[in-house]
């Protein structure tokens, strides 16, 4: 199994976030002098000697045997993400679910117990409700914002506390420092999905979490052109997660690693625009007669606003959701999304383009989730204005 190479002496961990996003983990290619990290589009690696082969098989830092377990382009990405998260190590996989599954499988097996938030990503929810019990893993679902409920859910066999900092799609805010204290008190590992804020806005490890993961498809990539997942933490916790990535065969392609290396360099610039646009759109939506509730952590009306403000320094990301005044069967949310012209009626999030997706669930009801992009905010608002007018419910 590959080991993470040590950070090179010129590593930028002491520099600001933007500098690390651009430079950390990367250096001129030693073979050609290429300034950008090459795409090492190879499945296997040749050895000059039996000694070199033995060292690679033992996992010597900076050596590779087969791209399922490691690749130079991917290693550069992993080093960069670790630097951005303030972590010892990181692992990339083919998707966000790739790292979620690798993490949970490395931490919980038959007879163990997981406490998980009741509002999490769709496929993580499927695993927790349907597949984990088939593996003999007990799962308790709780309102992660209710610390008393979380505390009461711990059992002697609880190994994992799993949540999202800003939940998908209800935008519930998890008090990560308080949850970290509970996890450590009970000897459990706190795993935080931080996809909605990115490491630019919030770094869970700095607040006591053990592992921080992202669907890197989203804000880390930022351009809707690469599937990937990344997870960061201590070298001790990351090593068995890497092993699970290899066992599950969920390795990331070198090309996607390169796309993420390119995308993450502008993360701070993009997130600033996402944040400012989302706050303006949220305030606009609050004033619309068709809207009954807007859920955005930057609004003072949001129940988790003060926690989010304290943990993010007053920037709340690009994700919001809202409810419409609807009657059963009127399909107002779908009609609104269908009326949009600039903003896309599409799944996923974290793209430079605004993406809108109606959600329905027994847990949070009907919500319209908006991943607010980097377009001019006046154009985004104008598109929603005409979409509302197209519903034909406004009085003159």
Output DSSP code: residue 24. Answer: T
193 classed as catalytic: yes
Catalytic residue among 68, 151, 273, 335: 68
Cα 204–257–60 angle (5° rounding)? 85
Question: Residue 149 corresponds to which tokens in the numbers above?
Answer: 């409920």
Residues 6+ apart with CB under 8 A from 54: none
Q: How far is it, in rounded angstroms, from Cα 287 to Cα 72?
A: 51
Catalytic residue among 2, 105, 141, 218: 218
Catalytic residue among 112, 193, 268, 351: 193
Burial class (CB in 10 A: 0-12, 13-18, 19+), 6: exposed
Q: Are 151 and 198 in contact (CB under 8 A)?
A: no
Report, in this order, helix, strand and coil percent for the chain, each rounded to 5.
40, 15, 45
Cβ-based neighbour number of residue 390 at 10 Å: 15
- Rg of the chain taking only CA atoms, in angstroms: 22
2 classed as catalytic: no
Helix or strand (DSSP H, E) at 232: strand 229-233
Q: How far is it, in rounded angstroms, from Cα 194 to Cα 86?
A: 14
> Under DSSP, is residue 78 helix (H, G, I), strand (E, B) or coil?
helix
330 classed as catalytic: no
Catalytic residue among 121, 127, 162, 219: 121
Taken in order 84, 87, 92, 93, the sign of the CA dihedral is negative
265 classed as catalytic: no
For the annotated catalytic residues, the residue numbers are: 68, 121, 193, 218
């Amino acid at each position: 199994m590959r080991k993470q190479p040590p950070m090179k002496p010129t590593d930028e961990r002491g520099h600001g976030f933007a500098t690390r996003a651009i430079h950390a983990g990367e250096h001129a290619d030693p073979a050609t002098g290429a300034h950008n990290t090459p795409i090492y589009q190879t499945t296997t690696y040749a050895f000059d000697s039996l000694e070199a082969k033995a060292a690679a098989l033992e996992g010597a830092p900076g050596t590779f045997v087969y791209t399922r377990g490691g690749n130079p382009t991917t290693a550069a990405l992993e080093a960069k993400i670790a630097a951005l998260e303030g972590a010892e190590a990181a692992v990339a996989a083919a998707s966000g679910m790739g790292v979620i599954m690798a993490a949970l499988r490395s931490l919980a097996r038959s007879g163990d117990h997981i406490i998980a938030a009741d509002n999490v990503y769709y496929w993580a929810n499927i695993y927790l409700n349907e597949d984990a019990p088939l593996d003999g893993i007990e799962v308790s679902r709780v309102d992660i914002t209710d610390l008393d409920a979380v505390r009461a859910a711990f059992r002697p066999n609880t190994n994992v506390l799993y949540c999202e900092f800003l939940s998908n799609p209800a935008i519930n805010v998890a008090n990560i420092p308080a949850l970290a204290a509970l996890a450590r008190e009970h000897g459990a590992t706190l795993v935080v999905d931080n996809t909605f804020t990115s490491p630019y806005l919030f770094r869970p490890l700095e607040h006591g979490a053990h592992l921080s993961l992202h669907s890197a498809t989203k804000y880390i990539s930022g351009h809707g052109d690469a599937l990937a997942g990344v997870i960061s933490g201590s070298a001790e916790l990351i090593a068995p997660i890497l092993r699970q990535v290899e066992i599950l065969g969920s390795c990331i392609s070198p090309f996607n690693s390169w796309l993420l290396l390119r995308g993450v360099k502008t993360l701070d610039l993009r997130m600033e625009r996402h944040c400012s646009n989302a706050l303006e759109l949220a305030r606009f939506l609050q004033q619309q007669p068709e809207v009954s509730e807007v859920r955005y952590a930057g609004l003072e009306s949001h129940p988790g606003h003060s926690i989010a403000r304290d943990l993010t320094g007053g920037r709340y990301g690009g994700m919001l959701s809202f409810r419409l005044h609807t009657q059963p069967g009127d399909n107002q949310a779908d009609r609104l999304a269908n009326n949009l012209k600039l903003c896309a009626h599409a799944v996923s999030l974290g793209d430079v383009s605004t993406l809108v997706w109606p959600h329905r669930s027994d847990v949070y009801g009907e919500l319209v989730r908006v991943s607010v992009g980097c377009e001019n905010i006046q154009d985004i608002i104008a598109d929603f204005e005409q979409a509302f007018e197209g519903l034909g419910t406004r009085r003159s």
